Amino acid sequence: MIYAHADNALKARCWLRKEGVIVDKGVRTDVCITEDLMYVVIDPELPDDLQTALLLVMYRGGIPPDEREYPKVIKSVAEGLRDRTIWRLYKDYRDAVHYLLDRWSGAREYSGYGALEALMRDPLLTEIVIPQSTAPAAKYTYVPKSLKEQLEYIRFQTVELGRYRRVVAVRNELRFPTNIVIPEPLMYIVVKQLLPSLTMDRPMLTREDPVYKARIAADLLEYNVNIRKVSAYPKPSKSLLKPYVTKATVEPFSAAGIRHVPEGLEVLALASLVLETRGSVVFSGAMGTGKTTQLNQLLYMVPPWFQVVIIERGAREIWAPLEGQLLHLSVPSEEKLWSALDQALRYGTMHTVVALAEARTPQELKTLVNYKLTGHGALTTMHADTVKDALLRITEAEAPPEGLDGTLVIQLSALGSTRYVKEVKAIVTEGREVRITEPADLTPKLDAYTREMYGVDLKKELTLRIEALAKAAEAEDPISARRVILETLWLERLDFKTAVEEEARQFQYQ
């Protein structure tokens, strides 16, 4: 659990492989990419009892970076568990145990990244992301009285409550879930290893690693961690000068195209395209009309190369199963929401949607609209009885008109126990004038995008997305539903494996 365990079933799915990413005293770590684009770190195998001992060593923290102290550390755990088997296994696997402890303690040439060390040393990757766990945050702190209780506590948190982080490896805009799983109780150790200067009174500090040239950003609110790797110091070089002499093979899409009036499920499909082109979507309505539910449903349609930064007040309400694509910023109080909004841009990539669970204040609305001007998509819900009321709330926030252009507002309502879409409007700007119009005014630009991106007109793309939604509705669980949409809309049409294979050849993958 604390390092990258890879069983035989996982290894059998490997499609590209690179051996010896780290080699030390005859012990090595390999990596591979599976056929379904999962990044697998293959650490040396250890017996289960020895893995348990290492997990408890991590939980206790403070490993001395001196291998002469390692026997004492293992022996204390073996005595605490009253298990002589651990000490015997340690002597049998001494080199592998010391190798893993070196990576966590930062001994010799290691930096203390532990399970992340292999990812740091793989030049194929450009970023490493440790998102929040999908489970709600713990409401109390339990201090175990013995090593055995510590182990049971960690297992309970991870297995029963689902409080763990699955690390994500990133290559440019492509995101690979990994087999590195970090239990929530151990997250504070990982953060301290990455950011030794992190303090409560200064919640956002970064440092630049002098050895591996990584910029590390962590959010203290819920310990989201991004590690952005830099291949070389920023001085003039062929790679850095290349963007200035490279000509784009695809011209930017023009706004000329057909006008189309969306009906029924086409509204949700159209909203997904608005987000995909980094526009803004607002679900408006009274309490209980299903705004947050529809926001979750729309997130199922987010392309696999997008990153979604979620900002919520305490309780987790946005739960769409976008493995490796969601970063949560969950704040305990209203006073800290502005800090979370401010930090959201720190986690942005070229394709990012910033989603606020509910926009309440003028300041929040203004910030979201401004994100459109930074090239980010925006997604939120708000309380308003009509689209005009929603626009009035936004304009009263003194939001820049340019940021409102291309916004789609879906007004929800309810009658008795029946929820329905009351009206759908678009917001466009002409100069400094903001006006409400029909969604058909957004379709020419979206039609040009679908022709350029997918080689089909807008109406055909909307039909395909409706079919994907209908298939997903028949799936048994949320993860299966998301998988259906991925396969229908992107994995079968856009060949990601070919793109990865071409890049992987440059970094000696077989």
**Same domain, residue pair 404 and 452:** yes
Which secondary-structure segment (H or E) carries 218? strand 214-219
Residue 382 identity (one-letter amino acid): M
Are the C-beta atoms of residues 404 and 396 closer than 8 Å to each other? no
Are 19 and 127 part of one and the same domain? yes
Token pair listed for 217 = 């950003």
Report pLDDT for 119.
93
Is there a domain that residue 241 lies in? no
Instruction: Verify that 347 and 277 share a domain, yes or no.
Output: yes
Structure confidence at residue 209 (pLDDT):
57
| 8 A C-beta contact, residue 338 and residue 363 | yes
- The set of residues, in sequence order, having a beta carbon less than 8 Å from that of 388 and lying 6+ positions away, is 436
Residue 388: inside a domain: yes
pLDDT value, residue 93: 95
Instruction: Give the span between the Cα atoms of 438 and 37, in whole angstroms.
Output: 40
List the CATH number of the domain containing 84: 3.30.450.90
Q: What's residue 227's pLDDT? A: 84
**Which helix H or strand E contains 23, and what residues bound it?**
strand 14-24
Residue among 23, 13, 19, 48 at smallest CA distance from 31: 19
Q: What is the pLDDT of residue 248?
A: 57
The DSSP line for 299-345 is HTTS-TT-EEEEEEESS-------TTTEEEEEESSGGGHHHHHHHHG
Task: Give the model's pLDDT for residue 324.
Answer: 78
pLDDT of residue 256: 61
Given this model, what pLDDT does residue 210 score?
A: 55
Q: Give the angle 311-376-457 at the CA atoms, nearest 5°.
A: 120
pLDDT at 223: 64
32 shares a domain with 111 = yes
pLDDT at 254: 58
CA distance 509 to 507: 6
Predicted local distance difference test score (pLDDT) of residue 199: 45
Regarding whether 272 and 201 lie in a shared domain, the answer is: no
Rounded to whole angstroms, the Cα distance separating 164 from 133 reads 5
Query: Are residue 222 and residue 149 in the same domain, yes or no?
Result: yes
Pairing mode of beta strands 14-24, 164-171: unpaired
Structural domains in the chain (count):
2
**DSSP letter, residue 207:** E
Q: In this structure, are 378 and 486 located in the same domain?
A: yes
Are residue 193 and residue 316 in the same domain, yes or no?
Answer: no
Closest to 94 in 3D by CA, of 53, 127, 125: 53
Q: Which two tokens stand for residue 77?
A: 């755990």
Average pLDDT per block of 10 residues along the chain, 510 residues long: 84 95 93 94 92 84 86 90 91 94 88 88 89 72 79 84 88 88 83 63 48 66 74 62 64 64 89 94 89 91 91 80 82 77 76 89 85 89 89 83 89 84 90 88 93 92 93 89 92 83 89
- Predicted pLDDT at 226: 83
Task: Provide the sign of the torsion angle of the four alpha carbons 145, 147, 150, 155, taken in this order.
Answer: negative
**pLDDT at site 237:** 62
